[in-house]
Structure 1
Amino acid sequence: MKEGKKVSSFILYSEVRGVARVTLNHPQKRNVLGEDLLRLFLKKLKEIKKNKAIHVLVLAGEGKCFCAGADLSAMQALSEASLEENKKDAFLLAQVLYELCYFPKPVLALVHGFAFGGALGLLSCCDMVIAHPKTEFGFSEVRWGLAPAVISPYVISAIGERQARRYFLTAERFSAETAKDLGLVNLVTEKIEALSDDYIKMFLENSPAAMAVTKKIISSVVTKEINQTLIKKTVNLNAKMRTSPDGRAGLKAFSQKTKTYLVLKS
């Protein structure tokens, strides 16, 4: 299914025979998760959730990649703002992740190019992820003096504590096959659209009510419940790291295209 109707400059949206498709549409900035995009995405998720005619949600990215993660340029500007302003900004991503994680309909993500940082939070909240074999993945936050705080509950649920320790702390990039081994990706293929159609058909053959209940069951047996207390804690950590000396140095290094925050710390 291809995307159609344009909703805004940051989101493409279409509905075809019970399938909704949301495409992150800011290719000039590699579909970064900026405030405007996140607000529109959150609004659209809430609308689709209430739409009884929609039974499946497909998530994709426009242009050369799925999503480069957080908008670090905007984050740099906010790093000089108050802690409360940074909490407010971080909470927007937290809301999107929570809404996506507990979405009552099947969510299928199609990934190509690369997916970094916050983008992996999105993928961890989806029910299935299909990736192109040349896709690159990575958690780059610590390289820029930040921490993957807001996405951590979802990512650790997907890949486990042991692997999170490695990939969160090294900031190394990894392949689609490695992402599959970790549990971030379900299937790897060059024909992501064709394969997605097969799974969409499977979802559409199932009872929407039964799938919604099944998703609730899965969530209910997760050992670490993602509740408002946990969300508040991760948002606070995110905001503190943004406004810390390392965070400010890292975001400045990113804007100046230097290799790491250490260049500006030394």
Structure 2
Amino acid sequence: MYETITIDTDARGVATLTLNRPDKHNAMSPQMMADLTAAAAQLGGDDAVRVVVLTGAGKSFCAGADLGWMRAQADMDSATRAAEAGKLATMLGVLNALPKPLIGRLQGNALGGGVGMAAVCDVAIGVDTLKMGFTETRLGIIPATIGPYVLARMGEGRARRVFMSARLFGAAEAVDLDLLARAVPAAELDAAVEREVVPYLSCAPGAVAAAKKLARDLGPRINDEVVAHTIAALSARWETEEAAEGIGAFFDKRAANWVR
């Protein structure tokens, strides 16, 4: 049914949603965004599903944006780029609003948009060897569409430690930044995720969904106006000389002219 993801649901109603582009480090393509958007609707509407576990196949959880998609955007006009950014914003929004507990199982690195994917999870557990980072500014662009979700997760103060510098940080710092609830050895990852799953199986599903909605309603505002602002901010950055230089340098495998 899906090209870039898989869904497996066990007898308890625990659905494992797996990003399945291991050869591309589960980088987000337009097809993956469409698949995840559709999967969120499917899982959210399935009364048999009690909990959703989000993970990745292969070495990486999610390496951010697909390189082919990035290259294509460099040649798009601003309206088309905004529409492309809207695809990512829509996908993150429906995962964030999923009326089921969403537990992140980060078996590998999460970069750029992959950090955004972790941030929309209700709780994220990662292996203690992983790296994370908001790498967009190295390319002359900004972590815009993921911004509302990572700021809601981290808070502004924590976010400003890593949101603009593009530096990579490890699992222990990710816990300190509140991007991960816990970091564990790889051999303990499944058991740690299971400990998050089990309590929900004793809870009323409707009450869980209502409690999650209330938490979102009481939390930082993420509405159509905020999402539109992030799309406009990203579209504006794509129009700059820095973005052209950064993206060009990346694909030319050279240092951008601001690197010292």
Q: TM class by shorter-chain length?
A: over 0.9
Residue in structure 2 matched with residue 139 of structure 1 by the alignment: 134
Residue in structure 2 matched with residue 89 of structure 1 by the alignment: 84
Residue in structure 1 matched with residue 196 of structure 2 by the alignment: 199
- Deviating more after overlay: 127-136 vs 239-248: 239-248
Inter-partner Cα distance in structure 2 for 1:56 and 1:122: 17
Inter-partner Cα distance in structure 2 for 1:99 and 1:204: 23
TM-score by length of 1: 0.92
**Stretches of structure 2 lacking an aligned partner (at least 5 in a row):** none
Residue in structure 2 matched with residue 238 of structure 1 by the alignment: 234
Contact kept, 8 Å, 2:133 with 2:162, in 1: the verdict is yes
Counting only pairs closer than 5 Å after superposition, residues 150-189 of structure 1 correspond to structure 2 as 150-189=145-184
TM-score by length of 2: 0.94
- Identity over the aligned pairs, expressed in percent? 32
Give the partner amino acid of 2:117: L
Deviations 1:82-102 (A, max 9, x none): 111001100011011111111
Residue in structure 2 matched with residue 3 of structure 1 by the alignment: none
Q: What's the secondary structure of 2:180's corresponding residue?
A: coil
| Deviation (angstroms), 1:254 | 1.7
Which of 35, 39, 49 is the aligned partner of 1:44? 39
Contact kept, 8 Å, 2:61 with 2:107, in 1: the verdict is yes
Inter-partner Cα distance in structure 2 for 1:238 and 1:112: 29
Residue in structure 2 matched with residue 8 of structure 1 by the alignment: 2
Q: What's the secondary structure of 1:262's corresponding residue?
A: coil
| Deviation (angstroms), 1:252 | 1.6
Inter-partner Cα distance in structure 2 for 1:209 and 1:261: 54
| Deviation (angstroms), 1:261 | 5.9
Which of 225, 229, 232 is the aligned partner of 2:221? 225
| Deviation (angstroms), 1:30 | 0.9
- RMSD between aligned residues: 1.5
**Matched residue pairs, number?**
257
Inter-partner Cα distance in structure 1 for 2:249 and 2:59: 24
Residue in structure 1 matched with residue 99 of structure 2 by the alignment: 104
Give the partner amino acid of 1:160: G
**Stretches of structure 1 lacking an aligned partner (at least 5 in a row):** 1-6
Q: What's the secondary structure of 2:163's corresponding residue?
A: helix
| Deviation (angstroms), 1:228 | 0.5
**Structure 1 residue 254 corresponds to structure 2 residue 230:** no
| Deviation (angstroms), 1:244 | 2.3
Q: What's the secondary structure of 1:23's corresponding residue?
A: strand
| Deviation (angstroms), 1:184 | 0.4
Runs ≥4 residues deviating over 6 A = none
